[in-house]
Amino acid sequence: MQANREQTDERLYDAELVRRTLAGDTTGFDELIHRFQRRAVSVAYRLLGNSHDAMEVCQEAFLRAFRALDTLQDPERFGPWLMRTVSNLSLNFRRSRRQSNPIPVDDCLLPGSEEGRGSDWMVSAGMPPDDALASELGEAIQKALGELPEKQRLALVLFSIEGMPQKEVAEVLDCSVEAVKWHVFKARKTLKEKLGDYL
């Protein structure tokens, strides 16, 4: 209940920032950038595997959002609207680059610990921190994620990694909540099959 109230408050604040921006107060949009930049870069990076490309895509996404802000029908939905733009731009960027330069997929599903000794996920799963094993597992995960269909991969990144509510993921993917559940289920099943030797 508390989480729902906090989400509602945040959306109302987003709507107020949108209204301020449309009224000519550009500090409103600066605050929107501050609120969503981290998540936007994180999503773009997980889809592109390159921090420079992720920053470039996010800069373009915020620019497009600013220019099209008056077309946003529900200002409370700024977050999902922006994430859809980031996701679409990232996927288009990957497609355009794939022809000549394959882009490495580096989703950081298993982020390294601050000490650089394996991954937090491995430790929480009771596996010993082992640099070689973590590196090998990371490469296997990168490869497996890269082979997922785009909607499954995006659903997994947004819901399982970014922690976005299923309803917002559905808005980003332009599908039903049930379809999001299906994409996440299929993505997890495929990863489990492909990574069976490691898990």
Q: What does the block give as tokens for 39?
A: 């998540």
Domain ranges of the chain: 1-103, 133-199
Please state the pTM of the whole predicted model.
0.66
How far is C-alpha 134 from the geometric centre of its chain's CA atoms? 22
How would residue 81 be classed by pLDDT, with cut points 50, 70 and 90?
very high
Q: Which CATH architecture has domain 133-199?
A: Orthogonal Bundle (1.10)
Q: How far is CA 70 from CA 10, 19, 74, 75, 106, in A?
A: 20, 9, 10, 9, 35
Tell me how far the alpha carbon of residue 93 is from its chain's centroid: 15
Mind listing the pLDDT tens digit for each residue in 119-173? 443 344 344 444 555 567 767 777 787 788 888 888 888 888 788 888 888 988 8
Portion of the chain with pLDDT greater than 70, in percent: 76
1-103 maps to CATH 3.40.640.10: no
